Chains A and B, each alone.
Chain A
Amino acid sequence: MDLFIINVIDGLIYGLLLFMLSSGLTLIFSMMGVLNLSHAAFYMLGAYLAYQISVYTGFWVGLIVAPLLVTILGAAVERYGLRRVHQYGHVPELIFTFGLFFVIEELVQYIWGRSMVNYNSPESLDFIAFNLAGGSIPAYKVFMLLVSVGIFLALYYVLARTRVGMIIQAALSYPKTVEALGHNVPLVFMGVFGVGTGLAGLAGVIAGPSLTTFPGMAFLLGSIVFVCVVVGGLGSLFGAFVASLLIGWLQTFAASYNIGAADILIAFGYEYPKDVYYHPWRDLWTLTLPQIGPILPYILLILVLVFRPNGLFGKRET
């Protein structure tokens, strides 16, 4: 039970982090019809920029400045890259963002090297927030949780209560009509792309210290974020939220419960082979839940796409 509660909290933090990425991705997709495959690269860029700033000025300045820099960069990518490619159609747009992912990844390795950088949580948050069921929750995790929830609430407020949010929401469903009403849709596109990538950058800033900042971090999280967006339903913010939490918990629980396939097979009355390492089914016998944890999201993705091609909450055809 103790482990269960800790896992619920860890999964929630991870899920909210995923939502910070998937919300931006969903917004961009619903507005422009482009799945931004370089989204996770901006997440990595956020972490690295924040690291570089924190070297000179400390964590808190990086927390504010790095996401802003990523926002500007994202907007520039939309303005000078994506807008140009847009005229060729959707497939070149996807290819463009896919290529951009690799360029940013290589650039990060060029600037900061191929090994991990020493990006740490601030000293003011280096204490244990509270003890819970025999385990301790560090203050930084609580901070991550608060930031994520804060972003979620802010996003909800902007989208549901402000005029800009109204335009964005309208553009989600009827982009052509919004354009006909005289709104500057290219500007909105640029803004949404910038803010979306900025959110990814912010996720990187707060995830960097706890998940380590290294060149593979984008690759590690990138495809999981696409899974969230697709499983939740392309274009559905609520779906992205549910799917992010679902996958956050799925991965956290799978990583911490060491259930082996052997236990299940024995329960079904099969006998454990004597010399398991030479047995033809050795992979099945030695399979454990933490081992298959990383591939669970992809299995979920394929199942959802096969049986519910629009995702869990998606309405729009893609």
Chain B
Amino acid sequence: MQKSVFSSALPWIFAAAILIVLPFIFTGGGSITIMNQIGITIVLAMSYNMLLGQGGMLSFGHAVYMGIGGFVAVHVMNIVENEYLWLPLPFLPLVGGLVGLGFATIVGSFSTRKAGTVFAMISLGIGELIAACCIIITVFFGGEEGISGDRTMAPSTFGIEFISQKEVYFLIAFWVLLSIFVMYLFTQTPVGKMANAVRDNPERAEFVGYSQRWVRYVSFCGAGFFAGVAGALFAINYEILTEQNLNTVMSFQVLLATYIGGVGFFLGPVFGAVLFTILQTVIGLQTDLWALYTGIVFVLMVMFLPTGLTGLFAMHLIPLQLGRLGMLIKPYAKIFVPGLAFVVGSIALIELINHVRHHGEEQFMTLFWIEFDTTSFLPWALFLIMLGVGFYVSRVFAKEVAEAWGEATFVEGERR
């Protein structure tokens, strides 16, 4: 059964419409900046998912491809500024992508021989190597302060000079949609399908007649290309690149954003990137313990929700199809209250201790929009009770949730 061209194009038209409308809904000063950052992270996380989600390759150095693409993009920007080269700004991501692709072609030629630990270790080694080279090769990487450029000096595209953030937003949005579209097309090609097969069972893929190494190599190069695109978008948006854009911490953030969204799902990284960036920018402003919270959430997620947020949604499709989603509402509502108390209580305690130790001279602190006295007994006792009781009660209710879940997904005659 062949779908009509229109119905398969519909989601893309819808997505394009959303991207066009967004900057007119969120007009606040910072929101365009955040949306630009989200766009860049989406491309990067989607390209990472080509490796981890679709190809089963765990990379600890994915930021390198983004960084190198970005560095070259800044250099090209400077060359264009000096009028040695004519290149309108919207084509710059293509340059970054080709650089990422080129670098991935070299590295992939030896790193994709094996998946698993060996691949992960090579990616870590390359990541450390390039990050260390940043300090040594100052001509290209600019040392500690990095290199910067000026995007407005490029020849104007239909009269657009890309001076305002909004103009840059549309450029990024265009490339985000294009990248996702091309990556989607890739998953539909035979080699894209084989990438999944090689991830799940490399031996059988070989028996079918495909070289597992070649299949991985193609995915790897594709991922390198789109990471490079993300790097060039970063260069356009921020006009500066430093060592911090390609070190291990950055690579970890890519992994985090992708994993939170959901590794096995095509659009999972999009949700991950949106959530991660909003958390990073919004919570990052509120507390300096941001990295601690994300780290803990990440580890808990790996332990209890390995399919990510998208996986959580996908899980609920089964009770939805069986028409039993209503059975879950009551236990969910019941666990929500003590669960929230536990989370709020523990965060409050962590922040309270942090405040007393580092800003002990200030007696009052504001937390969750409430100001209170840190020296009095009451907040400590309250938070401790919230933490303890919340934990205990949610454990009791968790059993009810598990039972309700079992009932809601139970199918007669099917083995589980």
Q: A90-B116, A306-B110 are in contact. Are A227 and B125 (CB under 8 A)?
A: yes
Q: A92-B302, A103-B296, A283-B136 are in contact. Are A299 and B129 (CB under 8 A)?
A: yes
Taking a contact as CB atoms under 8 Å apart, the answer to whether A94 and B58 are in contact is yes
Give the contact stretch, choosing among B165-173, B287-295, B320-328, B373-381: B287-295
- The reply on B315 being an interface residue by CB < 8 A is no
Taken together as a complex, chains A and B put the C-alpha atoms of A47 and B138 apart, in Å, by 35
Pick the contact of B117: A94, A96, A295 (CB < 8 A): A94
Residues of B within 8 A of A107 (CB): 292
- The reply on A110 being an interface residue by CB < 8 A is yes
Residues of A within 8 A of B256 (CB): 99
- The reply on A152 being an interface residue by CB < 8 A is no
Q: A107-B292, A110-B292, A283-B137 are in contact. Are A302 and B122 (CB under 8 A)?
A: yes
Taking a contact as CB atoms under 8 Å apart, the answer to whether A305 and B136 are in contact is no
- The reply on A226 being an interface residue by CB < 8 A is yes
Pick the contact of B291: A81, A102, A223 (CB < 8 A): A102
Residues of B within 8 A of A106 (CB): 289, 291-292, 295
- The reply on A181 being an interface residue by CB < 8 A is no
- The reply on B191 being an interface residue by CB < 8 A is no
- The reply on A63 being an interface residue by CB < 8 A is no
- The reply on A191 being an interface residue by CB < 8 A is no
Taking a contact as CB atoms under 8 Å apart, the answer to whether B138 and A302 are in contact is no
* Contact code string B113-153 (vs A, CB < 8 Å = 1, else 0): 11011101110111011001100111100000000000000
Taking a contact as CB atoms under 8 Å apart, the answer to whether B125 and A302 are in contact is yes
* Contact code string A36-80 (vs B, CB < 8 Å = 1, else 0): 000000000000000000000000000000000000000000000
Taking a contact as CB atoms under 8 Å apart, the answer to whether B128 and A91 are in contact is no
- The reply on A95 being an interface residue by CB < 8 A is yes
Residues of A within 8 A of B60 (CB): 98
Give the contact stretch, choosing among A2-10, A142-150, A192-200, A286-294: A286-294
Residues of B within 8 A of A84 (CB): 303
Taken together as a complex, chains A and B put the C-alpha atoms of A292 and B129 apart, in Å, by 10
- The reply on A309 being an interface residue by CB < 8 A is yes
Taking a contact as CB atoms under 8 Å apart, the answer to whether B291 and A305 are in contact is no
Taken together as a complex, chains A and B put the C-alpha atoms of A84 and B305 apart, in Å, by 11
- Majority SS of interface residues in chain A? helix
- The reply on A100 being an interface residue by CB < 8 A is yes
A interface residues, tally (CB under 8 Å): 42
Taking a contact as CB atoms under 8 Å apart, the answer to whether B58 and A287 are in contact is no
- The reply on B299 being an interface residue by CB < 8 A is yes
Taken together as a complex, chains A and B put the C-alpha atoms of A183 and B91 apart, in Å, by 63
Taking a contact as CB atoms under 8 Å apart, the answer to whether B303 and A302 are in contact is no
Taking a contact as CB atoms under 8 Å apart, the answer to whether A280 and B139 are in contact is yes
Residues of B within 8 A of A227 (CB): 125
Residues of B within 8 A of A294 (CB): 132
Pick the contact of A35: B117, B133, B354 (CB < 8 A): B117
- The reply on A298 being an interface residue by CB < 8 A is yes
Residues of B within 8 A of A234 (CB): 117
- Majority SS of interface residues in chain B? helix
* Contact code string B280-309 (vs A, CB < 8 Å = 1, else 0): 000000000101100110110011001000
- The reply on A202 being an interface residue by CB < 8 A is no
Residues of A within 8 A of B110 (CB): 302, 305-306
Residues of B within 8 A of A318 (CB): 114, 116-118
- The reply on B252 being an interface residue by CB < 8 A is yes
Residues of A within 8 A of B252 (CB): 98, 102
- The reply on A176 being an interface residue by CB < 8 A is no
Closest to A84 in B: B303
CB distance from B402 to the nearest CB of A (A): 15
- The reply on B52 being an interface residue by CB < 8 A is yes
Taken together as a complex, chains A and B put the C-alpha atoms of A100 and B292 apart, in Å, by 11
Taken together as a complex, chains A and B put the C-alpha atoms of A43 and B137 apart, in Å, by 31
Residues of A within 8 A of B138 (CB): 282-283
Taking a contact as CB atoms under 8 Å apart, the answer to whether A283 and B139 are in contact is yes
Taken together as a complex, chains A and B put the C-alpha atoms of A226 and B291 apart, in Å, by 24
Taking a contact as CB atoms under 8 Å apart, the answer to whether A95 and B58 are in contact is yes
Taken together as a complex, chains A and B put the C-alpha atoms of A226 and B116 apart, in Å, by 15
Q: A91-B52, A223-B128, A295-B128 are in contact. Are A96 and B303 (CB under 8 A)?
A: yes
Residues of B within 8 A of A102 (CB): 252, 291, 295, 298
Residues of B within 8 A of A299 (CB): 129
Taking a contact as CB atoms under 8 Å apart, the answer to whether B255 and A98 are in contact is yes
- The reply on B271 being an interface residue by CB < 8 A is no
Taken together as a complex, chains A and B put the C-alpha atoms of A35 and B117 apart, in Å, by 7
Taken together as a complex, chains A and B put the C-alpha atoms of A84 and B128 apart, in Å, by 30
- The reply on B259 being an interface residue by CB < 8 A is yes
Closest to B353 in A: A110
Taken together as a complex, chains A and B put the C-alpha atoms of A51 and B125 apart, in Å, by 31
Having A81-B303, A280-B139, A298-B132, one finds 13 other A-B pairs with CB under 8 Å, namely: A85-B306, A95-B259, A96-B299, A102-B295, A106-B291, A106-B292, A107-B292, A110-B289, A234-B117, A283-B136, A294-B132, A298-B125, A305-B118
A–B complex contacts, Cβ < 8 Å, 18 sampled: A85-B302, A85-B306, A91-B58, A98-B252, A98-B255, A103-B295, A106-B291, A110-B289, A110-B292, A110-B350, A283-B138, A301-B121, A302-B122, A302-B129, A305-B110, A309-B114, A309-B118, A318-B116
Residue numbers of A with Cβ under 8 A of B are 35, 81, 84-85, 88, 90-92, 94-96, 98-100, 102-103, 106-107, 109-110, 219, 223, 226-227, 230, 234, 280, 282-283, 287, 291-292, 294-295, 298-299, 301-302, 305-306, 309, 318
